[in-house]
Structure 1
Amino acid sequence: MTEIQLQALGLSNSHLVAYHGSQVHAGILTELKSLNMAAKSAGFEFTIASAHRDFHRQKAIWNAKYSGQRPILNSHNQAVDITQLSSEEIVESIMLFSALPGASRHHFGTDLDIYAKNCLASGASLQLEPWEYQAGGPFYEFSCWLEDNLARYGFYKPYDQFRGGVAIEPWHISHVEFANNMSRNLDIAVIADVISKYDVLGKDTIIGNLNELYQRFVINVASTNLPK
């Protein structure tokens, strides 16, 4: 595999640099700093909850959910009883909120889960749930500001709404240019190859249904058209 494919799969960190305690793609650093400064000027303490996550970390999350050691939540944030589900249904239920190892945008270093730390009430814990970014939630004004300003810094929200695959994630932002470059270096064959080589639970089901899963959950994101 090429180096950029290994990066996109979460198997190489050669593209990453440190930023505020997280690891991000070196190519996005300048615009990320500008976005952070703009948010600060608007009164928001731009804070990263999660940035780069490698293949092995994603695999650990996946396996914990598939085996029932970690809860799988439905669209109403209620735990799913996996004992009543087929392997195919377990895979699809996990992918509502957690990507396949090797197919997570968090491997890229271009995608971040963010919030405004100063908008979180004293003693409250970050949940990263949609209601926090909706009207009445602590990050609603921040989310509105992001909607108006992300594009000018080269970012967008890939999961701005539910499209039948991944659930809405108003906290998830992505750098258009570098994320798209990473995505172009991943395809079904590359993802199938890496999953087949590691102890990913449910791998036979995943590989057998990967074409549909890829179309529904991996590339089914918002348009990346930015203003000229």
Structure 2
Amino acid sequence: MIPKNLTTDPLIYGLVPPPLETCLGAPVQPALISALTDMASAARAAGFDLAIASGYRDFARQLLIFNAKARGERPLLNDRGQPVKASNLSTDELLSAILRWSALPGASRHHWGTDIDVYDAGVCVDGYSLALTTAECEGVMAPFHLWLSEYLATQSLFIRPYCQDRGGVAPEPWHLSFAPLAQAYRQAFNVRDLEQVLKAADVALKDAVLARLMALVTRYVV
């Protein structure tokens, strides 16, 4: 349900989808397709099979992920990437463990259709479990990671919004954002509108999230 008193586009919070087309198997905004096609072609020429693990994701899907982690129904990791039990954590610890790795519903950049997670499909054989973590930068994905870093330095359309650990979201070197569109959505993002969206939704830990919302946005929304 879209709150009636929003002051910004509900698309920003994943409540309505942007225009979408499928590219490399994932839904993205049409404006990305030319740049994505060029990047995939360059990757192929360098010997890599660039693929997209995740593109557009709506509010309902992000809510499902968040709630499942809050209820201990999906794997939960601490800052060091080690498994922890939700039942053993305080409310603050639980929120930190969730938001370190998964966005708050309504605050994911994947809501915009501008952000993607990429990988080299060519090395994902024999039951390889894709994790999209920094550890893979030194494993089988290391050559692709090096190539991707070099390629990104030659252009200005795609950026890595989570390339550094600022104490909130874990570094995501595989997460790319199409800056010409994403920057406008980020600038339009409004905490008070997010608050209304969360109040209207069945969010686990809702009272705790709302009580800490400004601090959570400051720390985890990039």
Q: TM-score, normalised by structure 1?
A: 0.89
Greater Cα shift, 88-97 or 69-78:
69-78
1:121 to partner: Cα distance: 4.4
* Residue 182 of structure 2 corresponds to residue 184 of structure 1: no
Which structure 1 residue ranges, 5 or more long, are not aligned? 220-228
Percent of pairs with identical residues: 39
Q: Distance in 2 between matches of 1:14 and 1:128?
A: 25
Q: Distance in 2 between matches of 1:123 and 1:93?
A: 27
1:86 to partner: Cα distance: 2.2
> Deviation per CA, 1:9-41, whole angstroms, max 9, x where unpaired?
111123222223211012222111111111111
> Deviation per CA, 1:154-199, whole angstroms, max 9, x where unpaired?
1111111211000011111111111111112212111111011000
Say which SS state the counterpart of residue 117 (structure 2) adopts: strand
Matching residue within 139, 142, 153 for 1:140: 142
Aligned residue number for residue 225 of structure 1? none
1:107 to partner: Cα distance: 0.7
Aligned residue number for residue 96 of structure 2? 92
CA shift in 2, pair 1:123/1:199, >3 Å? closer
* Residue 123 of structure 2 corresponds to residue 119 of structure 1: yes
Say which SS state the counterpart of residue 101 (structure 2) adopts: coil
1:7, 1:15 within 8 Å by CA — same for their partners in 2? no
2:70, 2:205 within 8 Å by CA — same for their partners in 1? yes
1:76 to partner: Cα distance: 2.7
Which structure 2 residue ranges, 5 or more long, are not aligned? 1-5
Q: How many residues align?
A: 216
Say which SS state the counterpart of residue 93 (structure 1) adopts: helix
1:129 to partner: Cα distance: 2.4
Aligned residue number for residue 3 of structure 2? none
Aligned residue number for residue 132 of structure 2? 128
Aligned residue number for residue 64 of structure 2? 60
Alignment RMSD (CA, Å): 1.6
* Residue 183 of structure 2 corresponds to residue 172 of structure 1: no
Aligned residue number for residue 222 of structure 1? none
> Deviation per CA, 1:72-100, whole angstroms, max 9, x where unpaired?
11133222222232222211210000000
CA shift in 2, pair 1:82/1:148, >3 Å? same
